[in-house]
A and B are shown apart, each in its own frame.
Chain A
Amino acid sequence: MRFLKNIFRLWRFQSLLLIVALLLIITAWSFKNQWAVPKTWDIHGIEEAHLPPPDSTVEIRYAPESYYNSLPEHVIYKTYPVYLNEHEPLGYIDSLKTLEPEIVFNPDKIKTKEDWIKAGELVFFWPVDELADLEEVRAVNDSSFIMASGNPITSQGIFPFSRYVIKEKGRIQEGGLSCADCHTRVTEKGGVIIGAQGNEAMDRGFAYFVEKFKLTEASLKEGVYRTVGTPWAPWVRDSVIAQTIAQYIAELKSRPNGVMARQGMAYNLPIRVPSLIGLRDIKYLDHTGLMRHRGPADLMRYAALNQGMDMLTSYSGFIPMGTGNYSGLPSLEEWSHPFGYVARRYSDAQLYALAQYIYSLEPPENPNRFPKEILDRGEQIFKEEGCITCHSPPLYTNNMLTPVNGFNPPETHFEKYDIFNVSAETDSVSALYSRRGTGYYKIPSLLGLWYRGPFFHNGELATLEDVLDPARLKDDYVPTGFKPANMTTRAVKGHDFGMELSKEDKEALIAFLKSL
């Protein structure tokens, strides 16, 4: 009996041990998997998320995994603000010269969600272009550049779109093309909204450099063609070749803050910079809904593509950054991105952190105060005019895609994507004749309109008042936002809602929109 009792005790003890061990394993496993970092360059995953071009005969191939993996990863150092020369605190550069280089992104130290967000902030601000030495930067980083380009600076005299980097002690370099470069907005009072529709005068800044440093026509044309070349719009090549350098500079200068060139855009048709605030709830990325957004993995892939890799996608054999007549993948030495992105990639952990940071972005406090009766009237009009159907609360978008004029969605798309099957009849060129084209535009969220602008996909309209102005539908209209340099007037057509409202009703509607 006693023997049996001992066995029973032992058995109970062992069971207990087993349960404890199991619990420990489960806890450890779940902890480890709490931050399971998705694999960025998963070709199947990219294909799943990516919408096809409007021309269904075009074959898309992404750079192979082996190529992606062969790129060295970004090493992220601590960065420092760039002041205009006139505003630089006394001894600032000397103090930077005494600092040791400091690698700040270290995935091993990330434990909590807050750690991921903080690490993501580092990625967001990390310059990924070819760094310039301090002397080159200081030669242009002054008020004459700001005046000529129309760039904003902060109330402290900081040019917030670039950062100083110290990779070796005593050597200060400046870099840009970080996420923050395009997605930072300087307010009228000189404050900064991170993640908003940025307002750097990127293209006018570039025009300044083209003129100042007399860049050659051949290199510019090569860069422009790599940026806008679209195999299913073969006339683009002839247009790029025919354009003179003076015309090109005029085009660059025609682009207002918040509208800029992006690789894959349509010829001479820059894109309004999107706001990233609230992106976590948005189901499609890019104006054209180029990629589905179902979670961090999609956003990571989108970021990897946008920050270099989409130039290596093959569009029926045309590789925008390809060697040998745009057909081969460049070696690291041959890598030549028209905007100056270096031949590196983000690590999966960096991109995951970036996604967590972008998801954490919150809107600034809305300073607008409108009387309740005006807001109520505005909301009523918002419903009566049918705005609410596409711009449905709480996100003020129904998260759907609208086909543009000239595109009939194939039947298969209705099951695969979220399609609101009517065109808003806005300019369809970006959605049809660019590498980012899908045949659709995403219905944008109206949240945070008060700190955004210019509006419409190509930023043609400076204010909400302009959006509701019926004069814009006529050919003699002078767009208040982006207008191609070779045009004096241009109708801004489409999305002709709320055009006939009374002055009071328009004001109420705009007040409501600015309260969102």
Chain B
Amino acid sequence: MDSSAISFKINNAGIMVNGTFDGLVAEINFNPKKLKRSRITASVEAGSVDTGIRLRNKHLCRSDYFNVESYPRIRMQSLNFQKKEEGQFLGDFILSLKGKVGKVSVPISVQKEGTNNILSGDFDIDRRDYDIGGKSLLLADEVQISIWIRAREEN
């Protein structure tokens, strides 16, 4: 793995709030020709959440949001992949977030860049499914998550 960007967007009071996570640890065994054998597991550090406002980041680490003390990492683990078209796949993943487990389908695009592969994908989750933040008139339930990973190809 060379570099990565794990980010999210959520509407708060009509404004899109952008945030990122750091500390990605990923094991990528992805071969477009051997999808059945392909596996991706990845996790980020929940406490690295950064929305550009220091005290908001601190709040997001607390029990009403990510509860990083009890759940320090957010994990994704692949279940299966399907090929959609050239360079386009659909992967089902188990997302483990704040002690809750959900299945998410992620459209994955794979692009070659020299000896690297760039894997990227966007998907949505409902934050309430993972007990992130309570009921809110201001904060949307839907969170858009974007993953971008540049990985070295290894044979």
- Chain A positions near chain B (C-beta within 8 angstroms): 380, 383-386, 388-389, 392, 420-425, 495-497
For A385, the chain B residues whose CB sits under 8 A away are 53
Q: Establish whether residues A422 and B138, one from each chain, have CB atoms under 8 Å apart when the complex forms.
A: no
Known contacts A386-B53, A388-B138; is A422 also within 8 Å of B58 by CB?
Answer: yes
Q: How many angstroms between the C-alpha atoms of A253 and B61 in the bound complex?
A: 42
Q: Establish whether residues A421 and B64, one from each chain, have CB atoms under 8 Å apart when the complex forms.
A: yes
- Chain B positions near chain A (C-beta within 8 angstroms): 12-15, 17, 51, 53-56, 58-59, 62-64, 137-139
For A392, the chain B residues whose CB sits under 8 A away are 13, 137-138
Identify A496's interface contact among B51, B54, B63, B139, CB under 8 A: B54
- Nearest CB on B from A278, distance (A): 19
- 12 new A-B contacts at CB < 8 Å, known A420-B59, A422-B58: A380-B15, A383-B12, A383-B15, A384-B15, A389-B12, A389-B138, A389-B139, A421-B62, A421-B64, A422-B62, A495-B55, A496-B55
Main secondary structure of the interface of A (DSSP, over half): loop
Chain A residue nearest to B63 in the complex (CB): A421
- Nearest CB on B from A404, distance (A): 13
Q: Establish whether residues B62 and A383, one from each chain, have CB atoms under 8 Å apart when the complex forms.
A: no
Q: How many angstroms between the C-alpha atoms of A389 and B133 in the bound complex?
A: 12
List 29 A-B residue pairs with CB atoms under 8 Å apart, sorted by A's residue number. Answer: A380-B15, A383-B12, A383-B13, A383-B14, A383-B15, A384-B15, A386-B17, A386-B51, A386-B53, A386-B56, A388-B13, A389-B12, A389-B13, A389-B139, A392-B13, A392-B137, A392-B138, A421-B59, A421-B62, A421-B63, A421-B64, A422-B59, A422-B62, A423-B58, A425-B55, A496-B54, A496-B55, A497-B53, A497-B55
For B15, the chain A residues whose CB sits under 8 A away are 380, 383-384
Q: How many angstroms between the C-alpha atoms of A383 and B14 in the bound complex?
A: 8
Which of B13, B64, B138 has the most chain A CB within a 10 Å cutoff?
A: B13
- Nearest CB on A from B9, distance (A): 14
For A423, the chain B residues whose CB sits under 8 A away are 58
- Nearest CB on B from A169, distance (A): 59
For B56, the chain A residues whose CB sits under 8 A away are 386, 389
For B12, the chain A residues whose CB sits under 8 A away are 383, 386, 388-389
Q: Establish whether residues A424 and B138, one from each chain, have CB atoms under 8 Å apart when the complex forms.
A: no
- Nearest CB on B from A273, distance (A): 26
Top 8 closest A-B pairs, CB basis? A422-B59, A383-B15, A421-B62, A388-B13, A386-B53, A383-B13, A386-B56, A422-B58
Q: How many angstroms between the C-alpha atoms of A392 and B14 in the bound complex?
A: 13
Q: How many angstroms between the C-alpha atoms of A388 and B17 in the bound complex?
A: 12
Q: How many angstroms between the C-alpha atoms of A468 and B87 in the bound complex?
A: 50
For A424, the chain B residues whose CB sits under 8 A away are 55
- Nearest CB on A from B140, distance (A): 13
Which of A389, A420, A423 has the most chain B CB within a 10 Å cutoff?
A: A389
Q: How many angstroms between the C-alpha atoms of A423 and B55 in the bound complex?
A: 8
- Nearest CB on A from B64, distance (A): 6
Q: How many angstroms between the C-alpha atoms of A423 and B13 in the bound complex?
A: 22
- Nearest CB on B from A91, distance (A): 60
For B14, the chain A residues whose CB sits under 8 A away are 383
Q: How many angstroms between the C-alpha atoms of A138 and B133 in the bound complex?
A: 60
- Nearest CB on B from A41, distance (A): 36
Chain B residue nearest to A420 in the complex (CB): B59
Q: How many angstroms between the C-alpha atoms of A354 and B63 in the bound complex?
A: 40
- Nearest CB on A from B133, distance (A): 10
Q: How many angstroms between the C-alpha atoms of A388 and B13 in the bound complex?
A: 8
For A425, the chain B residues whose CB sits under 8 A away are 55
For B58, the chain A residues whose CB sits under 8 A away are 422-423
- Nearest CB on A from B139, distance (A): 8
For B51, the chain A residues whose CB sits under 8 A away are 386
Q: How many angstroms between the C-alpha atoms of A380 and B15 in the bound complex?
A: 8
Q: Establish whether residues B63 and A422, one from each chain, have CB atoms under 8 Å apart when the complex forms.
A: no
Chain B residue nearest to A422 in the complex (CB): B59
Q: How many angstroms between the C-alpha atoms of A414 and B127 in the bound complex?
A: 20
For A497, the chain B residues whose CB sits under 8 A away are 53, 55
- Nearest CB on B from A376, distance (A): 12
Q: How many angstroms between the C-alpha atoms of A385 and B13 in the bound complex?
A: 11
Q: How many angstroms between the C-alpha atoms of A385 and B55 in the bound complex?
A: 11
Chain B residue nearest to A388 in the complex (CB): B13
Q: How many angstroms between the C-alpha atoms of A235 and B73 in the bound complex?
A: 43
For A386, the chain B residues whose CB sits under 8 A away are 12, 17, 51, 53, 56
Q: How many angstroms between the C-alpha atoms of A422 and B59 in the bound complex?
A: 5
- Nearest CB on B from A402, distance (A): 9
Q: How many angstroms between the C-alpha atoms of A386 and B14 in the bound complex?
A: 12
Q: How many angstroms between the C-alpha atoms of A386 and B57 in the bound complex?
A: 11
For A389, the chain B residues whose CB sits under 8 A away are 12-13, 56, 138-139
Identify A422's interface contact among B13, B55, B139, CB under 8 A: B55
Chain B residue nearest to A384 in the complex (CB): B15
Q: How many angstroms between the C-alpha atoms of A250 and B138 in the bound complex?
A: 47
- Nearest CB on A from B124, distance (A): 22
For B55, the chain A residues whose CB sits under 8 A away are 422, 424-425, 495-497
